[in-house]
Amino acid sequence: MEQLNAGQLFTQFNLSPQEEKQGQTLNDIQRAYLHNMRADICAQKLGLIFTPNDIVGYAQQEAGFTMQIALLDELLTPSQPSEFTQE
């Protein structure tokens, strides 16, 4: 693994295909943790209350939650299926 752009704000690494696959594979605890985060954020988004006096604030919060959910979905999608089951 070779680091590119050392000291930069957007540090990147050259990863082999095997390293990329390992980086995308979540274990059961990581998957459960990310699912819990997603559920919490979804609950917060559903709990938003619209007030006509703060339309911009509502839109900003809603957009923030939407992007957090999208990011978590992206992190969860490439992972290999696991034996983790929801009860």
Percentage of the chain surpassing pLDDT 90?
61
3-state secondary structure of 67: helix
The whole-number pLDDT of residue 87 equals 45
User: For 9, which DSSP code?
Assistant: S
> Of the ranges 20-24, 50-54, 66-70, 81-85, which one carries the lowest mean pLDDT score?
81-85
What are 22-50's pLDDT values in tens digits? Answer: 888 899 999 999 999 999 999 999 999 99
pTM of the model: 0.74
Mean pLDDT of 14-23: 89
Give the domain ranges of the chain: 26-80
